[in-house]
Chain A
């Protein structure tokens, strides 16, 4: 499935919704969205991954880029990542840098 990434920033919550297969060819699209969101200086970054089916190392690199691009006090949430992607995050250690949630939980994301 072709990769899509859409983003918006509302009340300081930056949200990027990812779908399809995030490979090397698709990574620049994702990166563009990260930069768009970062420009708005949100206090949270939420990555909606329910429909993301695959992530290659280029995709992981954009995640790391996002972590470094955001201010240190910006928490990053990964929402609804499917098992293979969650495993990739764990095996490469990136899960230490983010908070993983099953579903979008406003109580956790918006109020913490």
Chain B
């Protein structure tokens, strides 16, 4: 039966119209036309501005009739629009009273907060026409896609190995050898590499549309531009970054992203998005008016009583996430990415902001976080908080979790780095970190802890062992940007060196770090390129560098093949041993009747860990009988971590039932004897003691 509401009722010049539907918000295809719905609480009038694709002057401006407004939503259907070749925006009228938080300006053409595709920065780095009054231009998208039988993978959280990746950086370097460097499409060509690395989840740095030209400026030393490169500055929450698409010239970025996700899923790899809801690209009162500021400044932003922008994000403004309307937009956005793009999980940038009330005070029971935790569409999505913000709120271990939220475990990173560089008195802290940080996440399981040593913020792994200080002059901010407390150690020389002893030590420290990460309970996360020793030359904040400081140099796959092999063996070892991936925290008790606790603690003497303030060593043993459910029993696993600069003999705990110790990994050994293939591990001659070299990690299996 044909609908009766698909016929125009009004006209404006040659355009046929009728009253629209108030939701969903945004532009939606309906029979014969497009439905527009946009919210503004304080606007007194709204005009729809339509453009032919890419043209500077509008082809028509259609005011929303008074009777087309329901509540605070302006809504209208326009018939017979050319779906592929039309762009749209809004003009809003209302008060301009900054001291009261109102910043309406009918001269501005405003981007729809719900725009599903955004033109204007289609080709990465192509200088925009700054005289164009409408810089970020909303387009319509087809929301169909041939997913076949794909859906999010729903892998158990504790089984994941996450790989944090920047879309452009991964293949932009010519050494990648791909056809379309720096694009979503190119990543597909590298999926075999990711599989061989043993990762089963990629976490993409922001892919919501952003403006690489935001605060762009000349490089202080070279003939190139510094950009908003990483993209932690959202222009539109519903649109994929067009400049990352090989097909953006045809406006097909949506299909390209979906194709990439489908291909990842086919290969057993989940896709997480790093999402930035703490602020937008509009900056403070001196920033551009792109969308929210002109549509409803007072609703979308946290404002001081004088009408200035609160800056809990460190980026000029703060999205008013616990305003019910903004909360609704965040929820709509995540539901859209989960349902339309089959996204498996989200990592929330500066998520502590999401728990602040409209005046900035932290809430006990933040409605946004609760809503996301219990949402039916997001029910199987992983939710990961970066549990701090730039306003000083640090919630690692205390982030409101509702049984659902995981956290980037900043304490894991800090404690492991301190232990790694040989700081004394870390044995107790390391025991917690190794166990998935039950001191922080008791009752929440190991999946609450995303363990990482390095991430996009800060040093790469290779730089962590090569620099004591940050070297950020290339960012043009006099080395004032980036963190100062890196807990790094250069192994005796700042930066590159020819000294073979220093280089050998650095390599061993990198192996130590990877080995400890991969035997920790919780969810390990690798930073793109760390597996091949990627360097940023000591720069610990490369947010603006569109060059080799960020780009993955694929030549390293060959030059650092031995280290890559070590990392591959680490992930394979983790995969082979379910006792490393327990969902619940270890109990330090025997509940399998073996006479051994699930985890036991050791030192240079078996059963005697040194927890003192002088200690730089720790060893532990996992009893593989304590795997849960119907999984067959795992091996015994013994890990000795000697972060002291001297060699130490570690007395080995004796195994029951005639089992023997076999050597799996020893970071003191050259490749390939640093990690033996599973099944080929040599039996230890001496079953009573193992000499662990200076600053080395040893992994044994008992079977």
Q: Are B263 and A93 in contact, with the CB atoms below 8 A? A: yes
Q: Does B259 contact A (CB under 8 A)?
A: yes
B255 — which chain A residues lie within 8 A by C-beta? Answer: 57, 60, 92-93
Indicate which residue in A57, A64, A90 contacts B84 across the interface (CB closer than 8 Å).
Answer: A57
Name, among A23, A57, A97, the residue most crowded by chain B CB atoms within 10 Å (CB to CB).
Answer: A57
Indicate which residue in B83, B185, B188, B263 contacts A58 across the interface (CB closer than 8 Å).
Answer: B83
Contact A92/B144 with A24-B83, A57-B255 known, Cβ cut-off 8 Å: no
Q: Are B259 and A91 in contact, with the CB atoms below 8 A? A: yes
Tell me the bound Cα distance from A91 to B251 in angstroms. 12
Q: Are B85 and A92 in contact, with the CB atoms below 8 A? A: no
Q: Does B146 contact A (CB under 8 A)?
A: yes
Q: Are A57 and B251 in contact, with the CB atoms below 8 A? A: yes
Give the B interface residue count (CB, 8 A).
21
CB distance from B566 to the nearest CB of A (A): 34
Q: C-beta contact mask, A16-30 vs B, less than 8 Å → 1, else 0?
A: 000000011100000
Tell me the bound Cα distance from A87 to B178 in angstroms. 13
Q: Are A92 and B82 in contact, with the CB atoms below 8 A? A: no
Q: Are A92 and B256 in contact, with the CB atoms below 8 A? A: yes
B183 — which chain A residues lie within 8 A by C-beta? Answer: 91
CB distance from A84 to the nearest CB of B (A): 9
Contact A93/B251 with A25-B82, A61-B144 known, Cβ cut-off 8 Å: no
Q: Does A67 contact B (CB under 8 A)?
A: yes
Q: C-beta contact mask, A48-85 vs B, less than 8 Å → 1, else 0?
A: 00000001111011001001100000000000000000
Q: Are B185 and A91 in contact, with the CB atoms below 8 A? A: yes
Q: Are A68 and B142 in contact, with the CB atoms below 8 A? A: no
A91 — which chain B residues lie within 8 A by C-beta? Answer: 180, 183, 185, 246-247, 252, 256, 259
B246 — which chain A residues lie within 8 A by C-beta? Answer: 87, 91
Q: Are B259 and A58 in contact, with the CB atoms below 8 A? A: no
Q: Are A56 and B146 in contact, with the CB atoms below 8 A? A: no
Q: Are B262 and A93 in contact, with the CB atoms below 8 A? A: yes
Name, among A24, A87, A91, the residue most crowded by chain B CB atoms within 10 Å (CB to CB).
Answer: A91
Q: Does B250 contact A (CB under 8 A)?
A: yes
Interface size bucket, A side?
10 to 19
Q: Are A57 and B142 in contact, with the CB atoms below 8 A? A: yes
Tell me the bound Cα distance from A109 to B669 in angstroms. 58
Q: Are A88 and B252 in contact, with the CB atoms below 8 A? A: yes
CB distance from A11 to the nearest CB of B (A): 29
B256 — which chain A residues lie within 8 A by C-beta? Answer: 91-92
Contact A57/B85 with A91-B256, A93-B259, A93-B262 known, Cβ cut-off 8 Å: no
A92 — which chain B residues lie within 8 A by C-beta? Answer: 247, 252, 255-256, 259
Indicate which residue in A24, A68, A87 contacts B146 across the interface (CB closer than 8 Å).
Answer: A68
A61 — which chain B residues lie within 8 A by C-beta? Answer: 142, 144
Q: Are A60 and B252 in contact, with the CB atoms below 8 A? A: yes
A56 — which chain B residues lie within 8 A by C-beta? Answer: 84, 250-251
- Nearest A residue to B140 via CB reads A24
Leading 4 A-B pairs by shortest Cβ distance: A93-B259, A24-B84, A91-B185, A92-B255
Q: A56-B250, A61-B142 are in contact. List 16 more A-B contacts (CB 8 A).
A: A56-B251, A57-B251, A57-B252, A58-B83, A60-B252, A67-B146, A88-B250, A90-B185, A91-B180, A91-B183, A91-B246, A91-B247, A92-B247, A92-B259, A93-B188, A97-B146
Jot down 17 A-B pairs with beta carbons below 8 A, ordered by A.
A24-B83, A24-B85, A57-B142, A57-B250, A57-B255, A58-B83, A60-B252, A60-B255, A61-B144, A64-B144, A87-B246, A88-B247, A91-B183, A91-B247, A91-B256, A92-B259, A93-B255
